[in-house]
Amino acid sequence: MLKTLIIEDEKHIRDELKGLLAEFFESSLTIMAEATSVKEGIKAILEHKPDLVFLDIDLGDGSSFDILAVLPEISFDIIFVTGYDSHAIKAIKLGALDYLLKPIDNYEFKESVEKAIESYQKSKNNGNIVSVAGNFYTNHIHDKIVLKTLDAQHLVNFNDIVYCKSDGNYTTFHLIKEQIVVSKPMKKIQPLLDEQQFIKCHQSYIVNANYVTKYRNDGFLITKTEDTIPVATRRKDEVLQILFK
């Protein structure tokens, strides 16, 4: 049985989560406690050492990241619960973390909890990936992204990304020393990158402007790593203006 906490300041959301857990996962999870604030949340986590926490982003006395920032370790799975807040959602996605939007969709709820059950008993330390989300949400620091693959979670600095190339529902991150393939299309990757640093120069390519050394008149960018990146004709003027302004 997964030891579960619900940290949420809206009673009707807490009740909804409890009802859904009872309906779909009564034999798999047990609710150890509820909390409605940062102070109560910290106390509950330290006392119960949960396996899974439903965590509201915006609490009455602070944010959920205030809770996570003071914990000695984060060895539990997190499902964030939030209203539609584009800044919060971007923070969560940068950390490749799971979340539910209010009002809660039953299908998405079941999918998120099933993933948490599948990862139960796997050794984990989510401190680094949570810090990526927390730094963006709280401090507006936008310099890292977490990339999840089948066998690992990669903490990647933007400055180490030379370019990204998409192929259908997959995107390959070409770093200085390695390549990482994630099962996400380009349209989901681009909004997470720093738009001041990364340029979409082609339908299938995003390039780190800091690595571009020249534009060739045959329609290609050359990088410091000697990679050749195509520039779409319709994007040429915009790309050159950004690079050589």
Same domain, 56 and 167: no
User: Quick check: pTM over 0.85?
Assistant: yes
Same domain, 29 and 117: yes
Domain of residue 206 covers 159-243
Same domain, 112 and 179: no
Same domain, 100 and 163: no
Q: Could you report the per-residue pLDDT of 134-189, keeping only the tens digit for each?
A: 999 999 999 999 999 988 899 999 999 999 999 999 999 999 999 999 999 999 99
Same domain, 30 and 134: yes
Q: Which of 104, 139, 174 is the last residue of a domain?
A: 139
Is residue 145, in this structure, part of any structural domain at all? no
Where does residue 49 fall: left (phi above 0), alpha (psi -120 to 50 degrees), or beta otherwise? left
Q: Total domain count for the chain?
A: 2
Same domain, 128 and 37: yes
Same domain, 90 and 173: no
Q: Could you report the per-residue pLDDT of 99-132, keeping only the tens digit for each?
A: 999 999 999 999 999 999 998 877 678 888 999 9
> Helix or strand or coil: residue 173?
strand
Is residue 150, in this structure, part of any structural domain at all? no
- 221 token code pair: 């960018």
pLDDT value of position 7: 98
Rounded to 10°, the helix 11-24/106-118 angle is: 60
> Taking residues 62-83, what's their average pLDDT?
95
H or E, element range at 55: strand 52-56
Same domain, 111 and 69: yes
